[in-house]
Amino acid sequence: GLLSKGVAKLTRTVRALQALGMARRTRFRDRTRSVRRRAHQIAAWLRRRSGDAKDEVLELTGELARIADATITDAQAVAINARRSLHRAGDAASGKATALVAELERTIGAVEQIISQTRIRIGGGVPDGATRVVSLHDTDARPIAKGRLGRPVEFGYKAQVADNAQGIVLDHRVEKGNPPDAPMLVPAIARITKFFGQVPKAVTADRGYGEPKVETELQSLGVKHVAIPRKGRPGAERQKIESAPRFRKLVKWRTGSEGRIAHLKRSCGWERTVLDGIDGARTWCGWGVLAHNATKIAVLIEEQEATHPSPRSTPTRRPTATGPPSRHPPPPTFRAA
């Protein structure tokens, strides 16, 4: 599917460039019908679920890779000639043409990587998940194994959220691929400490962060209480620590705070980013956190004002002998909250 979409996108981009007068004499063959026909044949063979179907699918996939490779050769020639035309035009070059040439070069690189992945699969191997392209328009997205029954593998980015007892997100991070959880916690606490000028008294996280090194580094930062269940089966001494009332209370609070992630996904756009690339995903998630925090802080201020209303004095103005009361009342007084 990615090969078919890649060839179609290369063809559309080249046609758009040639319509602008770029690389018109460069030969480019439209192979969109060929790849779509083979993609349709693959879908038909996959429904048969037999050994012969598997062999036929692998053969058709190899043909798709060869067609995509030939399309890339033609597209590279178009990109080179179009880039020369832009260089000759100098400052008079069209912005649309410049963007199309850059898009063509990006698509060529993505399709080349997809071809490489395809040949690894045909050879019986599995492409590396850390570098595997799973989306043509968002080449930074990666497969992430979640282990769920309905969706064992998801595609996108990995995000970490750190919030406080009031529900305000203090730190968040969006990373490419599926990096391990444990090394991400201490830098997050260090950023929070630097930003607020105060070390958190207690830190809790799920079992994915449960490593002795993480707990030692958090304590070295000045954290008094660390409530992170360890990975694997804990020993007798560790069971005594994890059964302590304060430890269990913090772990239960962390379980309840999972709703924060669900809320960010449901109401703040974290379910799906509309901006491509890792930079776009970070920007999109940052705006979501800003919206969440602004709403949450406003609610907290309203609750505080309802519990402890601020006294508002209305000063009386007496008329003077020289004229009527002043039209400009004195400035109101505010209470720091």
Q: Could you report the per-residue pLDDT of 148-181, keeping only the tens digit for each?
A: 777 888 889 999 999 999 999 999 999 998 899 9
Q: From CA 11, how far away is CA 217, in angstroms rounded?
A: 54
Mean pLDDT of 134-143: 88
Q: Could you report the per-residue pLDDT of 50-100, keeping only the tens digit for each?
A: 777 888 888 999 999 999 999 999 999 999 999 999 999 888 888 999 999
How many Cβ atoms are within 10 Å of 97's Cβ, its own excluded?
18
The CA-atom distances, in angstroms, between 175 and each of 97, 179, 220, 272, 277 are: 32, 8, 26, 15, 11
Q: From CA 10, how far away is CA 71, in angstroms rounded?
A: 8
Of 64-68, 212-216, 257-261, 309-313, minimum mean pLDDT range: 309-313
Q: Could you report the per-residue pLDDT of 235-294, keeping only the tens digit for each?
A: 899 999 999 999 999 999 898 888 888 999 999 999 999 998 999 999 999 999 999 999
Strand partners, 227: 204
Q: How far does CA 91 lie from the centroid of its chain?
A: 36
Q: Could you report the per-residue pLDDT of 290-303, keeping only the tens digit for each?
A: 999 999 999 999 99
- pTM listed for this prediction: 0.76
The CA-atom distances, in angstroms, between 50 and each of 44, 47, 55, 118 are: 12, 9, 9, 21
Predicted confidence at residue 312, as pLDDT, reads 60
**Average pLDDT for the chain:** 88
Give the torsion sign (CA, 243, 248, 250, 255). Answer: positive
